[in-house]
Structure formats: structure tokens, C-alpha cells
Amino acid sequence: MITGDAYVGGFAGHVATEAVPGALPIGRNSPQRPAFGLYAEQLSGTAFTAPRAENRRSWLYRLRPSAAHPPFRSYEGAQLFAPGAEQAPLPPNRLRWDPMPPDEDGVDLIDGMVTMLANRDPASLEGVAVHRYAASRDMTARAFVDADGELLFVPQAGRLTLLTELGRIEVGPGMIALVPRGVRFRALLPDGRAAGYVAENHGSLFRLPELGPIGANGLAAARDFETPVAWYEDVRQPFGLVQKYMGTLWTTTLDHSPLDVVAWHGNLAPWRYDLARFNAMGTVSFDHPDPSIFTVLTSPSDVPGRANADFVIFPPRWMVAEDTFRPPWFHRNVMSEAMGLIHGTYDAKAEGFAPGGLSLHNLMAGHGPDVASWRAASEATLAPHRLEGTLAFMVESCWPYRPTAHALATAQPDYDACWADFPVAKLPG
């Protein structure tokens, strides 16, 4: 178990940390001879010239330069991870998936990854992909690196220990963790198995949303994000490195672990966040607010107010709205919605949306409560009511998602049926 003082609080703040005293240069980034013969390396998260408020980079002091590696060759494992773009016409259908079956093959996190939804081309530096994973083996002598985007982990069952170049993170269901683009890591499974979701953000970096009239406080607080302190391993044995690069997987073999960063400083770093810390806002009068009120993180697009990706949660909370249909309303959205369920029941879907499941409501797809949820909420006595034991999330994107061939082949056959059989409204006369 990784404990308290292994993390520093704050979101995208400047951190300076060394696993060995004296490893971090003082007052400069790239001294002629870094301490102990370490190698200085800059890792950029934004263009060098990005405005200061946007600019993200860290300086890493490592046992060997990360440039020291043989060529990458095509990776033949993880057949369902990054399978390439689906070219067929995109059906306008609503789709839903059961949870992944538990892993029976003893695969690690990388070989246990299954890409479900993707939009845009990673080379366009925008869009988001949604993957799921089910794994039951530690990554021992291999690491992974994603050149296509930052990875937002949303565990659904079982903890993950993410051993990253910049430190160690432990995360479990109810928490999220982010590994920046280009940061190498390997994952251990302290509970023996793990399943969950990953949102891979090709676009502008996730950040906290504007709060507007909410004020200076509320939703996710910067201080609750936890960045690990420096940690390294000096492993001198063959070590696989799998890379996701422009939508496909590549591999090479190093003669050492690439997790050899002894000290680092900067504002580009992995972090974890406990979703229980999210300060949910809601109506205290009437009507169901737009789900943007639950935005944890946003990746803006080039169009103001239109997110490349919003990560939104539906946490336990009080429902007090008067004369209101309290669950999500019927709607057609110009944005595209991918949803997952971490635990409990989602208040718009009485049946068929299980923890570990996934649903897709793309641009303009009519959706909302299923018949059972609609009937129950229409007839309910509206006393203050606490939604308890539930945690759903949405990755909402301005780009319609393309399900992968695997996703199309494994969708529930009868999702539309949950919106059949609504009684027709009866007009007077």
C-alpha cells in the first residue's frame, strides 16, 4: 500500500521531487554534469510556445536517456486494443454493452485492453477513445507508453498500482488516475485482478472546468488531486516496452526498466483523484440541471464552450427538486455521450446497464430514461431523496464516436427495446 506522504496535492502545480537527495539540480534544468551522472530530459505536454497558463512540461533526471532504445516493431498482442479505424458508415443507433467477461487468459493490463469507441485520428491531436480492460496479471518486465494521448483510468473492480516514470500511484474503484502522454508505466494488480475503463484523450490536456457563477469553490478541488513523489527502479534485464503510436501498437525490448527517473520537477505529471471528494451541485428548486454541472475535467476544443472531451460523474447526492421529473430527461444532444457505470444503478436505466457496462448515445440520438425509470419517477412522491450507492460517468465529446468492429459485434441486441412501449399522450376531447 502506498501511503500519505508519497503524494503531493494540487492540480497541474509545479512539483520538485527527488528519490535520492541531491539528484535534482537547483536553479537550472540542464547543468553541464547532472548529479551522479544522471541524464536530464525534458518531457513536453504542450508546445514550447504555449501561453504560460497553458504550458505544461517536466524535467526528468534519469539513469539512462530514454533515447537509448532499439527500433520499434509491430506489436502482435492485444488484438482488440487500437484495432485501427472502422471505415464503414457510422450507424445512428444507440448502443449498449454488458460488462466485459472476467479475464480467463491471465493477461496483463496491456493485453487486457479492448478499444470500444474512438473518434478522430490521434494524428489530428484531437478526439478521445474509450477502452475497457480486464486483467489478472502484473506487468512485470514490461512497460507501456501512449504517444497518442493522456490516459484517464477509471477503475471499476480491483485496484491498480501504476508504476510510472514520475512515481507510483495506487488507485481503485471510485478513484481516477491520469498518466500523461508519453509517460512510461507498468501496472500491478494488488487484488489479483482488475477491470475498468480508460479514456484516452488525444486533444488538449484535461483540466478543471471554469466555475462561472458557481464561484471560487465547488466541483473538483485542485488540492484533492494527488501527484506521486519521485520513485525509480534500476532493473537491468530485458524489458519489453509497448507503445501506442498513431493508433497502432509497437514494441521494442530494452535491456533495462525505463522507469529509472530518480528526480523530476515540473507541472506535467500523473495524478490520482478520489471521486468521493467531488463537491456535487444541483438544483434546490426545480428541474434537472444539465449534466455539465457534474464536470470533473474538461479538454476544450478550438470552439469555446464545446469540449473535445468532458469527464462527468453522477455521484451519490440528494434529490430535492419540486414538481420535477428528477432523472435525466429525454434529449437529443449535439454532443456525443459514452457512459460507464462504476457501481450501483443509474437513475435513468432501471435495467440492462450493469456496473462495468458501457453505452453510447451519439450526436442527435434520442435517449433518456427507459420505460421503467420513467414510470417510477413520474409516479414517485417527491420527498427529499438520497441517491445512494451509485457512481456513473460520461465521456462527452463534440466528435461522434465510432464503435470498433469488436464493439459493434458485441453490443446488446435489444437496447432500443428499453424505449419501446411508452404510452401515447392523451389529448383532451
Ligand X SMILES: O=C(O)Cc1cc(O)ccc1O
**Active site residue ranges:** 288
Q: Where are the alpha helices (DSSP H) in 49-190?
A: none
The distance in angstroms from the start CA to the end CA of the chain is 69
**What does the per-residue mask of binding to ligand X show for 264-303, with x meaning CB under 6 A?**
------------------------x--x------------
Q: Which three cell numbers stand for residue 313?
A: 460523474
Q: Which does 394 bind (CB under 5 to 8 A by kind): ligand X, Fe ion, none?
A: ligand X
Upper half-sphere CA count for residue 354 (Cβ side, 13 Å):
9
Interaction residues for Fe ion, span 313-372 (CB under 5 A): 337
3-state class (DSSP) for residue 229: coil
The CA distance from 278 to 237, in Å, is 42
Q: Which does 291 bind (CB under 5 to 8 A by kind): Fe ion, ligand X, none?
A: ligand X
Q: Which does 131 bind (CB under 5 to 8 A by kind): ligand X, Fe ion, none?
A: none
Which listed range, 160-168, 278-286, 329-337, 401-409, lies at the site for ligand X (CB under 6 A)?
A: 329-337
Residues near ligand X (CB under 6 A), total: 10
Residue carrying C-alpha cell 527517473: 261
Using the minimum distance from each CB to Fe ion, give the nearer residue, 244 or 288: 288
> DSSP for 290-327?
PGGGGEEEEEE-SSTT-EEEEEEEE-SEEE--SSS--S
Among 168, 184, 367, 402, the residue binding ligand X under the rule CB under 6 A is: 367
Q: Which does 244 bind (CB under 5 to 8 A by kind): ligand X, Fe ion, none?
A: none
- Evaluated on CA atoms 317, 360, 128, 227, the torsion sign reads positive
Please name which of 301, 422, 419, 428 lies closest in space to residue 368, comparing C-alpha atoms.
419
Other C-beta atoms within 10 Å of 105: how many?
10
Using the minimum distance from each CB to ligand X, give the nearer residue, 189 or 358: 358
Among 394, 395, 411, 418, the residue binding ligand X under the rule CB under 6 A is: 394
Using the minimum distance from each CB to ligand X, give the nearer residue, 77 or 92: 92
Using the minimum distance from each CB to Fe ion, give the nearer residue, 163 or 342: 342
> DSSP for 129-193?
EEEEEEE-S---SEEEEESS-EEEEEEEES-EEEEETTEEEEE-TTEEEEE-TT--EEEE-TTS-
CB of 175 to ligand X, least distance (A): 21
Which listed range, 19-27, 316-324, 327-335, 382-390, lies at the site for ligand X (CB under 6 A)?
A: 327-335
Q: Are 112 and 134 spatial neighbours (Cβ–Cβ below 8 Å)?
A: yes
The CA distance from 82 to 114, in Å, is 8
Should residue 348 be labelled a site residue for ligand X when binding is judged by CB under 6 A?
yes
Q: Which does 188 bind (CB under 5 to 8 A by kind): ligand X, Fe ion, none?
A: none
Q: Interface with ligand X by CB under 6 A: which residues?
A: 288, 291, 328, 331, 333, 337, 348, 361, 367, 394
Binding site for Fe ion (CB under 5 A): 337
